[in-house]
């Protein structure tokens, strides 16, 4: 940006001195001094205008960045609030491939977990006996068009249930 300003002010100075030379074939010391002062004033005015324009552009950029950040933060906050509002008892939880994996029977936002009563069809398809519930991190859930969605396919969720640790959770 500085190079552009210097080039602009140099061009203006050359143009002004060329105009001064064309107007007077025999300049006097007094007229040269006046013309030089006018050219200097024009250069200073141009430089001040360029600096002001740059300052305004920077200020606009900072304002736009702040507005964009506030907008993104607001959108993320709204999304988190919507997700939290959807984490209710008996809310259906879908896999990422669109199958029902179960329903929420307890939410513990302090620990960041949701407890799911596994769908009967999934329970019976598991080779591991006695798996009826699963604890899932809230961060593993999102709110989609079909409601709450787990970030795993049905097959991935079943594999996690088959190999994951078994805990006893007091209802």
Is residue 157 scored above 60 in pLDDT? yes
pLDDT tens-digit map of 72-126: 556 556 777 777 777 888 899 999 999 999 999 999 989 999 999 999 988 888 8
Tell me what the mean pLDDT of segment 16-29 comes to. Answer: 54
pTM equals 0.52
Burial 40-63 (b: 16+ CB within 10 A, else e): eeebeebeeebeeeeeeeeeeeee
pLDDT tens-digit map of 32-63: 666 666 666 767 677 677 677 766 666 666 56
Q: List the one residue out of 126, 138, 137, 132 whose CA is nearest residue 167.
A: 132
Is residue 161 scored above 70 in pLDDT? yes
């Amino acid at each position: 940006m500085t190079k552009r300003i210097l080039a602009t002010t140099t061009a203006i100075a050359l143009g002004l001195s060329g105009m001064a030379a064309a107007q007077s074939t025999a300049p006097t010391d007094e007229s040269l001094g006046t013309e030089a002062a006018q050219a200097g004033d024009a250069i200073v005015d141009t430089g001040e205008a360029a600096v002001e324009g740059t300052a305004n552009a920077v200020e606009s950029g900072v304002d736009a960045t702040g507005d964009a950040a506030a907008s993104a933060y607001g959108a993320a906050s709204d999304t988190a609030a919507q997700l939290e509002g959807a984490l209710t008892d008996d809310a259906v939880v879908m896999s990422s491939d669109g199958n029902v994996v179960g329903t929420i029977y307890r939410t513990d936002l302090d620990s960041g977990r949701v407890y799911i009563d596994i769908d009967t069809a999934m329970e019976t398809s598991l080779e591991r006996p006695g798996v009826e519930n699963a604890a899932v991190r809230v961060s593993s859930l999102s709110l989609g068009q079909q409601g709450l969605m787990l970030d795993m396919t049905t097959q991935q969720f079943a594999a996690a249930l088959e190999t994951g640790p078994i805990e006893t959770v007091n209802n």
